[in-house]
Structure 1
Amino acid sequence: MKSATGGVLSDRQWADAVLLPHRPFATNNLQRGQYRMSRDDALAMRYVEHSPHALLGSIVIDCDHVDAAMRAFEQPSDHPAPNWVAQSPSGRAHIGWWLGPNHVCRTDSARLTPLRYAHRIETGLKISVGGDFAYGGQLTKNPIHPDWETIYGPATPYTLRQLATIHTPRQMPRRPDRAVGLGRNVTMFDATRRWAYPQWWQHRNGTGRDWDHLVLQHCHAVNTEFTTPLPFTEVRATAQSISKWIWRNFTEEQYRARQAHLGQKGGKATTLAKQEAVRNNARKYDEHTMREAII
């Protein structure tokens, strides 16, 4: 179904509103690489980048099952109807949910909560339709390309909250080797920010350019641990967001206050641990003394 009537998405609306990048990456053959091109040229390709590296405008799931469309639209279902399903002749498809009115920023190191939530939503949708957890999510089957049979759904976007299902997990693993999809962005942010705060103290008297390069190196190191690494454009954007925010906003007073707070928390934990260890050792000593006395 390639046309829309009433409240159903259309080719034109997908090209004009859903597709966000001004110069998206696109290709006709994934094995031959992807290239940035104009929107008009990209829309003639079989695969296209649906969201730029900085903003998440859609959640796309790769459903590697021959009944992908049925899984996407079957009623009753535990997930909202997708805005589009672009399927190959085999029935395998990319299933897309359009986000709005506000898109999710993937590069703002000061606002990770929406991105973490989007990651959980993405995971829940994958579970719901049996999606491929190895799918990176950057390029999608172009719905308006004639090689795909496209079934369109609602013509209005969803909020993240509207896409929550019973499968949406409460927490996600943060180990790099377990991070997939949007989880890679979240893991890279968390790992690099935790590393960067104490590193800033050692490099605060250097230049901002050297600091940017140092953070980029660490982001790249985290990225290499992912099963499917993020594109360099996303790694660079993430590194720049973290390095610039810390460099512009962090001061020696803030650093000392942060260290004091962490030390206070750690001190309490250490004290409790030491107290428990002392009690355990005392109990062991008493038991040993009693045995010797009995014998």
Structure 2
Amino acid sequence: MINNFIEALPEKVRSTDDFEYGTKFRKKTNALKHRYVEINQLYKKYIALDLDEPGSAYWWEEKNLPPPTIVIVNPRNARCHYLYELKTPVYYTEEARRAPQKFYESIDSALTTVLKADLSYVGLFVKNPLHESWRVIKHNAIYDLEDFNEYIDLQYYKNKQKYEASLEGRNTTLFHNLRHWAYKEVKQHGSYITFQSAVDDQALSINKMFLAYSNGVLAAKEALSVAKSVGKWTWKHRYTIGTGRKNRGVLGLSDELSLEEKQSKGAEYTNIIRTEKVDDKIKLAIHNCKSKNIEPNHLNLTKNGLSESTYFKYKSAVENWVRLLT
């Protein structure tokens, strides 16, 4: 389990011994000497929860939930972090699909509610399970997201969140304030990653306005879920926002386009969908190699879920993903 945790970290990791003195990017081997490390945000291998109450290391048992893969306990106050490891990571890159992200976020939110975990925790930094400051409890358990449906009535928590949000309109307020801000902000960014980071920060800032509401602020991860939807849509439509051109249907095609132009746009859209599916296959094959601690080269990738034809047809994409994920 600990080896998997190390493997899932990027090569450069933000870390610190004390947040009052800030954080710093360090090589993985050096970062792991510090008390807190940032887990990978583009390649979410874990559901991370922060339980602020003393003696919460075994709350999962009391709530009839599956055991966390790693529980990292502060021996001074018995507060802890839960890490649920996923068999297949959820990607948060520009090309990643939103549906798996929403499923991940729903499970995360439901676990946070059931365990009464810290609503303000956004899942960035965790207690480093290799550091001597902490006591570590390990369970030989790795999950598919679907596995949590056996323990959690996900629809119940979705309905509960919708009901609570409707009482005060917090989600609606956040969504509309954030999207109008994002329409202007997107013009200041040259990459999706920097733009989405700015949207996330703004969403958390807007969320603080709800301190005056009877229900208080939204859970940080719920606010970030809204941010992901706003950021992805805004980035995708960044060239048409503010131009007066309407988005129609799935493709957002204007009636002013000729038949040939619409057919061309349709072909582009088909290629995007096809590319997303190919990217998912490539990323899964790389993940399979990493989980087996083998190099993601041509031979190993084709033995772990990627066909020969796909490898050679999309070789440049394969090489790009290998560089990004390893």
Q: Tell me the TM-score range normalised by the shorter chain.
A: 0.5 to 0.7
For residues 205-224 of structure 1, what are the structure 2 equivalents within 5 Å?
A: 216=195, 219=199, 221-224=202-205
> Higher relative contact order by CA 8 Å / sep ≥ 6: 1 or 2?
1
Contact map agreement 1:143 1:150 (CA 8 A) in 2: yes
Higher mean alpha-carbon deviation, 252-261 vs 144-153, is at 252-261
**Which structure has the larger Rg over C-alpha atoms?**
1
TM-aligned CA deviation for residue 123 of structure 1: 1.6
Alpha-carbon deviation of 1:50? Answer: 1.6
Q: Does 2:236 align with 1:255? A: no
Separation in 2, partners of 1:70, 1:223: 30
User: Quick one: percent identity of the two aligned structures?
Assistant: 20
| 1:104 corresponding residue in structure 2 | 90
Tell me the amino acid that sits aligned with residue 85 of structure 2. W
Alignment TM-score, normalising by the size of structure 2? 0.55
Counterpart contact for 1:97–1:157, Cα < 8 Å: yes
Change (3 A) 1:144 1:221: closer
CA 1:237 to 1:42, structure 2 compared with 1: closer, same or farther past 3 Å?
farther
Q: Which of 46, 51, 62 lines up with 2:40 in the alignment?
A: 51
Matched, 1:126 2:112: yes
Looking at structure 1, the residues matched to 220 and 53 of structure 2 have their Cα atoms a distance apart, in angstroms, of: 24
User: Which residue number in structure 2 is paired with residue 14 of structure 1?
Assistant: 5
- Name the residue aligned to 1:79: 65
Runs (5+) with no aligned partner, structure 2: 209-218, 222-226, 254-326
Instruction: Give the count of matched residue pairs.
Output: 224
**What is the distance in 2 between the residues matched to 1:123 and 1:130?**
10
1:118 to 1:237, Cα distance in 2 relative to 1, 3 A = closer
Structure 1 unmatched ranges of 5 or more: 1-8, 180-186, 200-207, 231-235, 262-295
Query: How much does 1:188 deviate?
Result: 7.3
What displacement does 1:83 show?
0.3
The 5-angstrom pairing of residues 1-295 of structure 1 reads 9=1, 11-16=2-7, 19-52=8-41, 54-72=42-60, 74=61, 77-89=63-75, 90-101=77-88, 103-108=89-94, 111-154=97-140, 156-164=141-149, 165-166=151-152, 168=154, 169-171=157-159, 172=161, 191-192=178-179, 196=183, 216=195, 219=199, 221-227=202-208, 242=233, 245-247=236-238, 255-256=247-248
TM-score with structure 1 setting the length: 0.60
How many angstroms does 1:128 deviate by? 2.5
Q: Could you tell me how far apart the structure 2 residues matched to 1:189 and 1:118 are? A: 23
Distance 1:260 1:48 in 2: 42
Cα–Cα, structure 1 residues 92 and 36, in superposed 2: closer, same or farther, change >3 Å? same
